[in-house]
Amino acid sequence: MDHSLAGRSVRHVWHPCTQMKRHEAAPPIAIDHAVGPWLVDIDGRRYLDGISSWWVNLFGHSHPHIRAALTEQLQKLDHVMLAGFTHAPVVELSERLAGLTGLGHAFYGSDGASATEIALKMSAHYWRNQGHPAKHRFVGLAGGYHGETVGALSVTDIALFRDAYGPLVRLSATVPSPDARQARPGETAADVARRAAKGLEAWLQAHHQETAALILEPLVQCAAGMAMHDAEYLRLARALCDRYSVHLVVDEIAVGFGRTGSLFAHQQAGIRPDFICLSKGLTGGTLPLSAVLTTDKVYAAFYDDDAARGFLHSHSYTGNPLACRAAVATLELFEQLDQLVVNRQLAEKISAAFAGLNAHPRVSNARQQGMIWAWDIDTSLPDFAQRYHEAALDLGLLLRPIGRTLYCMPPYVLDDADITHLGQAALAALNTTLQQEAELAAKKGKA
Ligand SMILES: *Cc1c(COP(=O)(O)O)cnc(C)c1O
């Protein structure tokens, strides 16, 4: 019996989004501690966290400011239920989020998927309270990802999930994605956006009477493989939602908190959504927390003497003081460090370090938005993602391609040596993987 931490883990821990049998060949890596952008395993091997531990980490692991805030909070108040009670961290966080977004009412959940569920329920309940009970369906973008609980899956357009769990889910409609890679010769990203918006318009024209909300990931559809689009799409979608009385839900769970260059991605389009979903970076990557922000108008539709007109939703840990305190500390760091400005310079340096990947003959659609980089790899390896991931780990770098799309979404705290390592290891791992492909092809040729 394997008594290592990894061995014990696969016996008793069911790992997420993982075919557990794979761990026979490649056991999970047991992490002992993490500092800044580096993960350190129990044997002392170091891995640069090039995907911010599934897109959650912003200021590096174990940041002293967030750690101090959490330590202090833990001395005082660990948790109290939020129904009938309140506390300073949740109030301060809600005030700050209102100030940053103009959406003045925050409802809390624990994960991204629960934020999606809250936004969908709130939108449909709003229409019911307003005397339009038929408006209870949703529409999303092709390739959209909004989480994996049964309700969130209804607006998540990932074939693998739709096949396995389709019968459990009330599937929503999907309209064309404005993915800029669909540009025809001579078309700009804005042209693609306008073309995609026509698809949305046609759909809303036919179905607005039963539609509560459009949900989308602004600027970058991350799980679809970092599909990027022009902000023009968001402006057109906002105008169409207004025209057809349909809510616009922006899912900023992955793209919020500076990922795309602005604090929130939709701000680059100059629009105001009806709902904003936040999670992942909200606590700087320390604790699970999600929030749905909405407008005075939506809030007012629930404000009544009748309990059934109130929003009927709760999670036991709603507004957990520790998580909220970590989120406040995270927002303080953005201010103190002027992080959006810092990121602009950092992104330039990182882009320069990726020159080798950008120019690689097997790479197409090299793209960047803020602190997100992606490349489509021309490879015939069906298991490219797994092979690349392992090759990068061997070189001390954590990257996990999505299908044949390689991407990087690092924490905002890389120094010059980290950046050099990132650029070199990312390129070397690609060459190693393509070398394996060549060897496999040669073997097949001989056989
Ligand atoms: C990760 C993600 C979610 C789901 O968040 P979980 O915390 O994993 O449930 C929802 N929407 C987007 C855009 C995401 O990237």
Is a pLDDT exceeding 80 seen at residue 85?
yes
* Residue 190 neighbours by CB under 8 Å, 6+ apart: 230, 232
Least confident of 12-21, 205-214, 324-333: 12-21
- On whether 281 is known to bind a ligand per the annotation, the reply is no
- On whether 251 is known to bind a ligand per the annotation, the reply is yes
Model pLDDT, residue 247: 99
Q: From ligand 1's centre to the CA of 185, what distance in Å?
A: 34
C-alpha dist (Å) from residue 326 to 98, 253, 336: 17, 16, 15
Model pLDDT, residue 170: 93
Task: Assign 18 a pLDDT band (cuts: 50, 70, 90).
Answer: very high
- On whether 400 is known to bind a ligand per the annotation, the reply is yes
**Arithmetic mean of pLDDT, 313-334:** 98
| Atom 8 in ligand 1: residue holding the nearest Cα | 112
Model pLDDT, residue 162: 82
Cβ–ligand 1 distance for 144 under 6 Å, the answer: no
Task: Assign 1 a pLDDT band (cuts: 50, 70, 90).
Answer: confident
Cβ–ligand 1 distance for 146 under 6 Å, the answer: yes
| Burial grade of 446 (CB within 10 A; 0-12, 13-18, 19 or more) | exposed
**Arithmetic mean of pLDDT, 131-159:** 97
Ligand 1: residue of 117, 264, 279 to mutate (most ligand atoms within 8 A of CB) is: 279
Torsion of CA 155, 159, 161, 163, to 10 degrees: 110
Cβ–ligand 1 distance for 279 under 6 Å, the answer: yes
Cβ–ligand 1 distance for 256 under 6 Å, the answer: no
* Residue 84 neighbours by CB under 8 Å, 6+ apart: none
Ligand 1: residue of 226, 229, 253 to mutate (most ligand atoms within 8 A of CB) is: 253
Least confident of 10-24, 30-44, 258-272: 10-24
What domains can you pick out in the chain, each with its CATH number?
Answer: 5-62+338-445 (3.90.1150.10), 64-337 (3.40.640.10)
Q: Which atom of ligand 1 has the smallest separation from the CA of 279?
A: 7
Q: Write out pLDDT tens, residues 61-72.
A: 999 999 999 999
Q: From ligand 1's centre to the CA of 223, what distance in Å?
A: 9
Is a pLDDT exceeding 90 seen at residue 211?
yes
- On whether 315 is known to bind a ligand per the annotation, the reply is yes
Q: Write out pLDDT tens, residues 108-127.
A: 999 999 999 999 999 999 99
Task: Assign 407 a pLDDT band (cuts: 50, 70, 90).
Answer: very high
Q: Write out pLDDT tens, residues 339-393.
A: 999 999 999 999 999 999 999 999 999 999 999 999 999 999 999 999 999 999 9
| Burial grade of 338 (CB within 10 A; 0-12, 13-18, 19 or more) | exposed
As given in the structure block, the two tokens for residue 228 are 């990027």
Cβ–ligand 1 distance for 217 under 6 Å, the answer: yes
- On whether 316 is known to bind a ligand per the annotation, the reply is yes
Q: From ligand 1's centre to the CA of 2, what distance in Å?
A: 34
> In this prediction, what percent of the chain has a pLDDT beyond 90?
96
Least confident of 112-121, 158-167, 356-365, 402-411: 158-167
> In this prediction, what percent of the chain has a pLDDT beyond 70?
100
| Atom 5 in ligand 1: residue holding the nearest Cα | 112
Task: Assign 175 a pLDDT band (cuts: 50, 70, 90).
Answer: very high
The answer to whether 312 and 322 have CB atoms below 8 angstroms apart is no
- On whether 54 is known to bind a ligand per the annotation, the reply is yes
Model pLDDT, residue 445: 86
Cβ–ligand 1 distance for 111 under 6 Å, the answer: yes
Cβ–ligand 1 distance for 229 under 6 Å, the answer: no
CA distance 411 to 2: 34
Is a pLDDT exceeding 90 seen at residue 161?
no
Task: Assign 446 a pLDDT band (cuts: 50, 70, 90).
Answer: confident
Q: What is the mean pLDDT of the chain?
A: 97
- On whether 280 is known to bind a ligand per the annotation, the reply is yes
Give the dihedral sign, CA 366/367/373/376.
Answer: negative
Measured at the CA of 110, the angle between CA 106 and CA 113, to 5 degrees, comes to 95
Is a pLDDT exceeding 90 seen at residue 151?
yes
Cβ–ligand 1 distance for 251 under 6 Å, the answer: yes
Model pLDDT, residue 160: 86
C-alpha dist (Å) from residue 433 to 22, 25, 66, 124, 297: 18, 17, 38, 47, 53
Q: From ligand 1's centre to the CA of 276, what distance in Å?
A: 13
Best CA proximity match to 160, nearest among 19, 280, 22: 19
Model pLDDT, residue 205: 98
Which runs of consecutive H residues, i.e. helices, occur in 41-87?
52-55, 64-76
